Amino acid sequence: METSRSPVFERTNRKRVFSGIQPTGKPHIGNYLGALRLWVGAQEVHDCSFAVVDLHALTVPGAVRPAELPVKVREAAAIVLAAGVDPSRATLFVQSEVPAHAELTWLLSCVTPVGWLERMTQYKTKAAVQERASAGLLAYPVLQAADILLYRTDLVPVGEDQKQHVELARDVAQRFNRLFGEAFVVPEPWIGSGTARIMGLDDPTAKMSKSVGETRPGHAIGLTDPPEVIRRAIQGAVTDSAPAVDVATAGAGVRNLLAIYAGVTGEATEAIAARFNGRRYGKLKVAVADAVIASLEPLQRRFRDLMADPGELDRVLAAGAERSRGVAAVTLQRASALIGLVRR
């Protein structure tokens, strides 16, 4: 797959980059096009840390069963590596193996107004489909702020849906710094262009999501799905009522297929528009499925190899956690001292 180029790559100064993925289900093409490929590009230039954020996966009780969580953590880590993150250039670790994440979350929770959290779109969306949302779901963005701030992060490469959370992390950092002194670097979101919000194939009004994909076949294109499953999902994608593609007036479903095609082929939007305008949806879907399947083939091969050697995967994660504990401890110590938790 093409590595996305962004103006950030033109800068010569090295930045600190942090981002995470939840082990909540099968990673999908939205995770790849919105986040993972930015991570792969970032490691060429910047000082990067990436985490499988397992504590975040606990915020929806029942979403991941305890016995499944370790499997999903390994799978998420293997996907990150299979996508091209190189542990000799970037640090990859599991969030719960660095206790400072949970500890800093408490300090930050005590300076975060509840109203800020209640305004978060993801909280409202996820809470709406549950009988009783957990306090953890409300506090999710505070944990995310801790993840980011511990590594003195400048840039957070994420999909569009996480922009609001990164902005909250900025607000929390600034509030803490103002109240207690300069503990944190104020981070900026890094959102790619074109594919920062891939929509669900079965419902192009909502973003493609791992947890939704667990219960709705045909919602997502799983990065590890076999070719026939990918083909079936794309064939079933919602399009418009008109008989053929009209790029100028295309609805969300058709625009989504065109964005996925552009994302996996790296072709220019104008060339794609010229090729598919006036073509029937069936032809567009075959072309998108062919392009997605071909582009995922090397990733899927690497994923299978990585999963065949869990010992090696665990060694990579253990080394990443060790390194991260050292960096995180310094930030936590500084914040703790500023807030008065250290006896002099």
Active site residues: 126, 207, 210
Structure tokens at 65: 């069963």
Report the alpha-carbon distance of residue 325 to residue 303 in Å, rounded.
27
CB nearer ligand ATP, residue 87 or residue 204: 204
| 197 is a contact residue toward ligand ATP (CB under 6 A) | yes
Q: In the set 210, 219, 231, 285, which binds ligand ATP (CB under 6 A)? A: 210
Can residue 336 be called a binding residue for ligand ATP (CB under 6 A)? no
Query: Any contact of residue 207 with ligand ATP (CB under 6 A)?
Result: yes
Query: How far is 322 from 244, CA to CA, in rounded Å?
Result: 55
Site string for ligand ATP, 26-55 (x = CB under 6 A): ----xx--xx--------------------
| Contact pattern from residue 137 through residue 176 relative to ligand ATP, giving x for each residue in contact according to CB under 6 A and a dash for the rest | ---------------------xx-xx--------------
Give the alpha-carbon dihedral of 102, 108, 109, 111, to 10 degrees: 170
Burial 143-166 (b: 16+ CB within 10 A, else e): bbbbbbbbbbbbbbbbbbbbbebb
Does 22 bind ligand ATP (CB under 6 A)? Our answer is: yes
DSSP string, 119-144: T-HHHHHHHHTSSS--HHHHHHHHHH
In the list 4, 105, 209, 265, the residue contacting ligand ATP (rule: CB under 6 A) is: 209
Q: Would the CA dihedral through 292, 295, 297, 302 be positive or negative?
A: negative
| Residue 235 in contact with ligand ATP, rule: CB under 6 A | no
- Alpha helices per DSSP H over 21-113: 29-31, 37-42, 69-82, 100-109
> Does 224 help bind ligand ATP (rule: CB under 6 A)?
no
**208 vs 338, beta carbon nearer ligand ATP:** 208
Residues in contact with ligand ATP by the rule CB under 6 A: 19, 21-22, 24, 30-31, 34-35, 158-159, 161-162, 196-198, 207-211
